[in-house]
Structure 1
Amino acid sequence: MGPLAYLKTQFAVHLLIGFVFVVSGLLINSVQLCTLVLWPLSKQLYRRLNCRLAYSLWSQLVMLLEWWSCTECTLFTDQATVDRFGKEHVVVILNHNFEIDFLCGWTMCERFGVLGSSKVLAKRELLYVPLIGWTWYFLEIVFCKRRWEEDRDTVIRGLERLADYPEYMWFLLYCEGTRFTEKKHRVSMEVAASKGLPALKYHLLPRTKGFTTAVQCLRGTVAAVYDVTLNFRGNKNPSLLGILYGKKYEADMCVRRFPLEEIPLDEKEAAQWLHKLYQEKDALQEMYNQKGVFPGEQFKPARRPWTLLNFLFWATVLLSPLFSCVFGVFASGSPLLILTFLGFLWSPPANRSN
């Protein structure tokens, strides 16, 4: 094991990374709280500021995936679809099979400039979680209880508020509602059989209410639906802990773009469209398991330096006093010490290939 790989396994280093994320997150939440006074004066200015504040927090997690673990993300799609990335409002449908699937999604958001404005339909319990839930609150994330009778009006109001959002947003939907497990899959397929729906091998039965409501409420704002099917080479099952330990993974993401005009207006027909989509996603996963690749051209969007620079900024600001206290270093010199220390952790930039 080389010195860099050894360093990435050390608990003290993990503790420092966690310290930077938590303290910077609390500071960011405090600034977000102050921005509430802007809402009645300029709603759009409030939103733009909070997009950038959220980026400063979320990009630290993306940094761990891109620069710390050096995980590679390859897109399987077409040039016309790639050319539209980051230039339109979209609903993103992603399979929920892996612990870090959201992080791979955020990586693509970051590389196309929409990380700060990315949205999700989240469980209401997350609203009370420091850092994550609090940041999402200021971003106008739509929270629900997963009981549609109680959620319907709340979800509709939350989605309709996003109609004039000033930044291009990717609205992520986990239509399966929860992460895939064998037990959940067995129960889900029993439900599918009772409803006369085809069995799925790699996915749970999609919940259609959230999707059909999102499409109806955001019609006129959202231009398309991106269907994203994610898998990892070598049949790996990556974890957040693996990322923290610097393990490198290779993620493959098949992206298909469906203009919103292709999705039926009728709720029942839109639900049928979603079920058909998941049957196609299942076929894509089967193809990947057999051939090791998804169909389509391969794209590897280049990493941008901003996630790393953002982390270095927070690490310098927050760790300088700590290092000055422990090692007795002059405060004026400690930022350079931190930058030098963290600069040692840099990895060579990824090669860009289209």
Structure 2
Amino acid sequence: MLACALKFLLYCEGTRFTEKKHRVSMEVAASKGLPALKYHLLPRTKGFTTAVQCLRGTVAAVYDVTLNFRGNKNPSLLGILYGKKYEADMCVRRFPLEEIPLDEKEAAQWLHKLYQEKDALQEMYNQKGVFPGEQFKPARRPWTLLNFLFWATVLLSPLFSCVFGVFASGSPLLILTFLGFVGAASFGVRRLIGVTEIEKGSSYGNQEFKKKE
């Protein structure tokens, strides 16, 4: 959530959102007298307040980013590999660093208030399908496509040459070995990517929220 000229990124929730983690998180919020969040986990304030204190005089602002994928889609690496198209809307807000309190406790309260605002933004997006404020759609840049095609050609040319050589050899053993290797590699990549799916995520956060920050 925290971004600056130094490209420093901080995800204050600390873990991916699941219903179980959200339930535990809101139990902690209730015990601390904090308003319940509907779409977010309770932010972990220690890392944020420490980062803000250390970055004073170095960076100018904190940028809060809220991202939503259209159609309630849940993107995955497998989906990207399969060529699925995902469209998203992003709400970016800028907060000058001097607006964030110096005191650690007050800075933590500022972060909790920010997440309450983020929850309200999410509620509005769910109702209207857009974020409030000025809408901006970046223009398509031909250079991005040209850059992709260039590197794809450079990196994939040796692979295509290798594949052509295998099939041109006419050796059944070599061809079967190559196909077996490709199949095994494809299976391994799918298994590794499957671990990154949210529903298969770790239990981290289920109990951690019950500990004092």
Distance 2:120 2:84 in 1: 29
Equivalent pairs counted in the alignment come to: 179
Deviations 1:163-188 (A, max 9, x none): xxxxxxxx211100001110000000
Distance 2:103 2:212 in 1: 41
Distance 2:173 2:147 in 1: 15
Q: Decide whether aligned partners of structure 1 residues 241 and 325 sit closer, same or farther in structure 2, where only a CA change above 3 A counts.
A: closer
Deviations 1:24-70 (A, max 9, x none): xxxxxxxxxxxxxxxxxxxxxxxxxxxxxxxxxxxxxxxxxxxxxxx
Structure 2 equivalent of residue 316 of structure 1: 153
Q: Decide whether aligned partners of structure 1 residues 314 and 250 sit closer, same or farther in structure 2, where only a CA change above 3 A counts.
A: closer
Give the superposition deviation at 1:194.
Answer: 0.9
Deviations 1:76-113 (A, max 9, x none): xxxxxxxxxxxxxxxxxxxxxxxxxxxxxxxxxxxxxx
Q: Decide whether aligned partners of structure 1 residues 339 and 195 sit closer, same or farther in structure 2, where only a CA change above 3 A counts.
A: farther
State the structure with more CA Rg: 2
Distance 2:88 2:73 in 1: 9
Q: Decide whether aligned partners of structure 1 residues 335 and 177 sit closer, same or farther in structure 2, where only a CA change above 3 A counts.
A: farther
Distance 2:101 2:93 in 1: 17
Give the superposition deviation at 1:315.
Answer: 2.9
Give the superposition deviation at 1:320.
Answer: 2.0
- Is the CA contact (8 Å cut-off) linking 1:224 and 1:257 kept in structure 2? yes
Distance 1:259 1:217 in 2: 15
* 1:192 partnered with 2:29: yes
Which stretches in structure 1 are left out of the alignment for 5+ residues?
Answer: 1-170, 346-350
Distance 1:275 1:251 in 2: 25
- Is the CA contact (8 Å cut-off) linking 1:299 and 1:353 kept in structure 2? no
Which stretches in structure 2 are left out of the alignment for 5+ residues?
Answer: 1-7, 183-209
Distance 2:19 2:88 in 1: 22
TM, length-normalised to structure 1: 0.43
Give the superposition deviation at 1:318.
Answer: 3.0
Q: Decide whether aligned partners of structure 1 residues 340 and 290 sit closer, same or farther in structure 2, where only a CA change above 3 A counts.
A: farther
Q: Which runs of 4+ in 1 moved over 6 A?
A: 329-345, 351-354
Distance 2:174 2:142 in 1: 20
Deviations 1:203-231 (A, max 9, x none): 00000011111111111111111111111
Distance 2:211 2:43 in 1: 35
TM, length-normalised to structure 2: 0.69
Q: Decide whether aligned partners of structure 1 residues 338 and 317 sit closer, same or farther in structure 2, where only a CA change above 3 A counts.
A: farther
Query: Structure 1 vs Structure 2: percent identity of aligned residues?
Result: 97
Q: CA RMSD in A?
A: 9.1
Give the superposition deviation at 1:289.
Answer: 0.8
- Is the CA contact (8 Å cut-off) linking 2:63 and 2:95 kept in structure 1? yes
Give the superposition deviation at 1:326.
Answer: 3.1
Q: Decide whether aligned partners of structure 1 residues 303 and 172 sit closer, same or farther in structure 2, where only a CA change above 3 A counts.
A: farther
Distance 1:339 1:212 in 2: 58
- Is the CA contact (8 Å cut-off) linking 2:65 and 2:92 kept in structure 1? yes
Deviations 1:260-293 (A, max 9, x none): 1100011110000000000000011111111111
- Is the CA contact (8 Å cut-off) linking 2:43 and 2:115 kept in structure 1? yes
Give the superposition deviation at 1:338.
Answer: 21
Q: Decide whether aligned partners of structure 1 residues 190 and 352 sit closer, same or farther in structure 2, where only a CA change above 3 A counts.
A: closer
Give the superposition deviation at 1:343.
Answer: 28
Q: 2:57 aligns to what SS in structure 1?
A: coil
Q: 1:225 aligns to what SS in structure 2?
A: strand
Q: Decide whether aligned partners of structure 1 residues 270 and 334 sit closer, same or farther in structure 2, where only a CA change above 3 A counts.
A: farther
- Is the CA contact (8 Å cut-off) linking 1:212 and 1:271 kept in structure 2? yes
Give the superposition deviation at 1:334.
Answer: 22
- Is the CA contact (8 Å cut-off) linking 2:66 and 2:90 kept in structure 1? yes
Q: 1:227 aligns to what SS in structure 2?
A: strand
Distance 1:309 1:234 in 2: 30
Deviations 1:285-320 (A, max 9, x none): 111111111101111112444554444344333322
Deviates further, 200-209 or 319-328? 319-328
Q: 1:280 aligns to what SS in structure 2?
A: helix
Distance 1:260 1:313 in 2: 41
- Is the CA contact (8 Å cut-off) linking 2:167 and 2:175 kept in structure 1? no
- Is the CA contact (8 Å cut-off) linking 2:166 and 2:175 kept in structure 1? no
Distance 1:332 1:307 in 2: 37
Distance 1:263 1:335 in 2: 68
Q: Decide whether aligned partners of structure 1 residues 265 and 243 sit closer, same or farther in structure 2, where only a CA change above 3 A counts.
A: same
Structure 2 equivalent of residue 241 of structure 1: 78
- Is the CA contact (8 Å cut-off) linking 1:321 and 1:331 kept in structure 2? no
Bigger strand share: 1
Structure 2 equivalent of residue 271 of structure 1: 108
